[in-house]
């Protein structure tokens, strides 16, 4: 019987395993009984070595931990570039309640611990975690492709494409023999069962190798340019914002009516082909280790800081400013204004002032279920356009009322939105709750 928390994604790994077995082993059974051209010894070796490499890399792509934030946030000290350029605040994940290192994203599938049991949906969301240099959450490995799993993932794709490409040549060889002998009496040729088997092998193998080849090319592109799938999306999003700003005088409006200057920003992590590939494959300069299925997973101490090129000011953060992802303006920090200098005439007055501040703090921690989604840009723009007024403001973020989809549903040219990569969109777009006060004060004190 299926358990309650059974999901279709649990079928992914068994299905892929079944596919590998079908192609690698039933093909050998077919060749064994195909009398016109049985497998040569070296062909048997090659098929089985490729199959072994595929199994090892697939297993590691599925089960190697894609990484988690160090338990103590002290182990990460955010540098200048880890702070958001516009707000000056460190990147923060409210779901994890921790600093969000550069290139990390909050995955909506990877859990913090192996088997969290939680009934309350709001709390269940906090059971997921940020993944270092998250590329995407792969449904076929039920795991994140990240700083730590990318080398295993790309090796899996490589061996799958090379191994299945090799199998394809063997299958076509047999296929052409069958075709040539099509005019011979049927009892001389292969049986109907064999013909169906050969046909299925060719169709399944061709389709799979084609799909994986495209994925391999895409992943190699990511490796060579040191740009994750999510970052490619961010680059496109940035280009869109630059275009929007160009029409609106170089600025876009953020919450609170703040005008954010938007200018073209270079992607910072492309540091040259050799370094990109070396770092992407785990940091080793030994080219053979890049192909070795049992190569070590990247050192667990890496993945929190990344070298950047010098095209831009090192203080600029990535992703570039996005007015639709900027937190709502917060009140001043205690001590920033005259509040702290204030002396109270009585203890009672002081307690009241403290309670007021406490209530303000509490109101900042709105639950995620009450997210105010920012209306999509074109809706805002049309709204402003049709309004007959001499108001010169650009189409700043207007909050949607009943709409359950806002600007987070922006899609790139391929029609992908952020959640298609497994990212928790609400945490990415509407992380409106700021860094907790305590952390900010600690941060400020450290700076002094
Ligand atoms: Zn997180
Ligand atoms: Zn994940």
pLDDT tens figures, 201-223: 999 999 999 999 999 999 999 99
Give 318's Cβ-side CA count (13 Å radius). Answer: 29
**Is pLDDT above 60 for 353?**
yes
Calculate how far, in angstroms, residue 196's C-alpha sits from the geometric centre of ligand 1: 50
Which tokens belong to 38?
Answer: 């049985």
Of 53, 62, 93, 138, the catalytic one is 138
Which tokens belong to 164?
Answer: 């299945």
Which tokens belong to 324?
Answer: 């639709």
Which tokens belong to 404?
Answer: 């359950």
Least confident of 17-26, 35-44, 394-403: 394-403
Give me the pLDDT at residue 340, please: 46
The C-alpha atoms of residue 118 and residue 127 are separated, in whole angstroms, by: 9
The C-alpha atoms of residue 394 and residue 399 are separated, in whole angstroms, by: 15
Closest CA to 79 of 102, 104, 103: 102
Calculate how far, in angstroms, residue 359's C-alpha sits from the geometric centre of ligand 2: 36
Sign of the dihedral defined by the CA atoms of residues 274, 279, 282, 283, in that order? positive
**Is pLDDT above 60 for 73?**
no
Say how many C-beta atoms besides its own lie within 10 A of residue 200's C-beta. 14
**Is pLDDT above 70 for 67?**
yes
The C-alpha atoms of residue 444 and residue 439 are separated, in whole angstroms, by: 9
Calculate how far, in angstroms, residue 95's C-alpha sits from the geometric centre of ligand 1: 5
The C-alpha atoms of residue 172 and residue 283 are separated, in whole angstroms, by: 40
Least confident of 6-15, 196-205, 291-300, 342-351: 342-351
Question: 329: Cβ–Cβ under 8 A, 6 or more apart, which residues?
Answer: 255, 256, 258
Q: From the CA of 73, which ligand is nearest? A: 1
Question: 388: Cβ–Cβ under 8 A, 6 or more apart, which residues?
Answer: none
> Which comes out higher in pLDDT, residue 129 or 55?
55
Q: From the CA of 108, which ligand is nearest? A: 2
Q: What is the mean pLDDT of residues 6-29?
A: 92
Give me the pLDDT at residue 371, please: 66
Give me the pLDDT at residue 388, please: 47
Three-state secondary-structure class, residue 255? helix
Least confident of 27-36, 141-150, 193-202, 395-404: 395-404
Calculate how far, in angstroms, residue 424's C-alpha sits from the geometric centre of ligand 1: 9
**Is pLDDT above 60 for 394?**
no
**Is pLDDT above 60 for 409?**
yes
Calculate how far, in angstroms, residue 356's C-alpha sits from the geometric centre of ligand 1: 30
**CA 46 → CA 51, 159, 401, distances in Å?**
8, 12, 61
The C-alpha atoms of residue 179 and residue 190 are separated, in whole angstroms, by: 11
CA dihedral 413, 384, 84, 437 (to 10 degrees): -130
Q: From the CA of 96, which ligand is nearest? A: 1
CA dihedral 278, 280, 282, 285 (to 10 degrees): -10
Give me the pLDDT at residue 12, please: 93
Q: From the CA of 128, which ligand is nearest? A: 1
Calculate how far, in angstroms, residue 102's C-alpha sits from the geometric centre of ligand 1: 12
Give 247's Cβ-side CA count (13 Å radius). Answer: 10
**Contacts of the segment 404-411: beta carbons below 8 A, 24+ positions apart:** 404/373, 405/373, 405/376, 406/324, 406/373, 406/374, 406/375, 406/376, 407/324, 407/373, 407/374, 407/375, 407/376, 407/377, 408/324, 408/373, 409/376, 410/237, 410/240, 410/376, 410/377
The pLDDT-based confidence of 226 (bands split at 50, 70, 90) is: very high
407 bridge partner residues: none
Calculate how far, in angstroms, residue 99's C-alpha sits from the geometric centre of ligand 1: 8
Scanning 181-253, the segments in alpha helix (DSSP H) are 192-225, 229-247
The pLDDT-based confidence of 176 (bands split at 50, 70, 90) is: very high
pTM higher than 0.85? no
57 is catalytic: no
């Amino acid at each position: 019987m299926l358990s309650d928390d059974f999901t279709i994604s649990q079928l992914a790994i068994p299905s892929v395993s079944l596919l590998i077995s079908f192609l690698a082993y039933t093909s050998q059974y077919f060749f064994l009984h195909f009398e016109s051209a049985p497998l040569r010894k070296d062909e048997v070796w090659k098929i089985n070595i490729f199959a072994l490499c595929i199994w090892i890399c697939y297993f590691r792509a599925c089960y190697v931990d894609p990484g988690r934030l160090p338990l103590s946030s002290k182990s990460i000290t955010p540098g200048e570039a880890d702070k958001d350029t516009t707000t000056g605040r460190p990147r923060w994940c409210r779901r994890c309640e921790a600093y969000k290192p550069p290139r990390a994203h909050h995955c909506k599938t990877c859990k913090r611990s192996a088997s969290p049991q939680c009934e309350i949906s709001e709390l269940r969301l906090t059971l997921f975690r940020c993944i270092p240099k998250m590329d995407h959450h792969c449904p076929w490995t039920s795991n994140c492709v990240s700083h730590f799993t990318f080398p295993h993932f790309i090796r899996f794709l490589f061996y799958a494409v090379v191994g299945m490409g090799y199998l394809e040549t063997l299958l076509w060889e047999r296929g052409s023999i069958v075709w040539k002998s099509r005019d011979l009496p049927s009892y001389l040729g292969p049986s109907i069962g064999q013909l169906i088997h050969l046909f299925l092998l060719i169709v399944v193998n061709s389709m799979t190798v084609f799909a994986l080849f495209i994925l391999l090319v895409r992943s190699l592109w990511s490796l060579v340019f040191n740009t994750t799938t999510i970052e490619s999306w961010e680059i496109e999003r940035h280009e869109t914002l630059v275009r929007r700003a160009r029409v609106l005088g170089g600025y876009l409006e953020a919450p609170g009516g703040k005008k954010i200057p938007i200018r073209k920003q270079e992607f910072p992590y492309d540091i040259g082909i050799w370094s990109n590939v070396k770092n992407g494959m785990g940091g080793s300069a030994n080219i053979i280790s890049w192909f070795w299925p049992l190569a070590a997973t990247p050192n667990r101490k890496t993945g929190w800081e990344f070298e950047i090129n010098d095209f831009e000011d090192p203080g600029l953060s990535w992703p570039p400013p996005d007015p639709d992802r900027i937190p709502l303006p917060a009140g001043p920090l205690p001590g920033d204004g005259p509040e702290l200098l204030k002396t109270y005439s009585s203890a009672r007055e002081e307690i009241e002032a403290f309670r007021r501040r406490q209530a303000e703090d509490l109101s900042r921690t709105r639950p995620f279920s009450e997210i105010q989604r920012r209306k999509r840009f074109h809706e805002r723009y049309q709204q402003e356009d049709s309004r007959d007024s001499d108001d010169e403001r650009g189409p700043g973020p207007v909050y949607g009322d009943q709409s359950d989809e806002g600007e987070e549903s922006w899609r790139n040219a391929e029609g992908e939105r952020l959640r298609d990569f497994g990212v928790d969109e609400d945490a990415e777009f509407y992380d409106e709750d700021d860094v907790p006060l305590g952390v900010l004060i600690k941060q400020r004190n450290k700076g002094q």
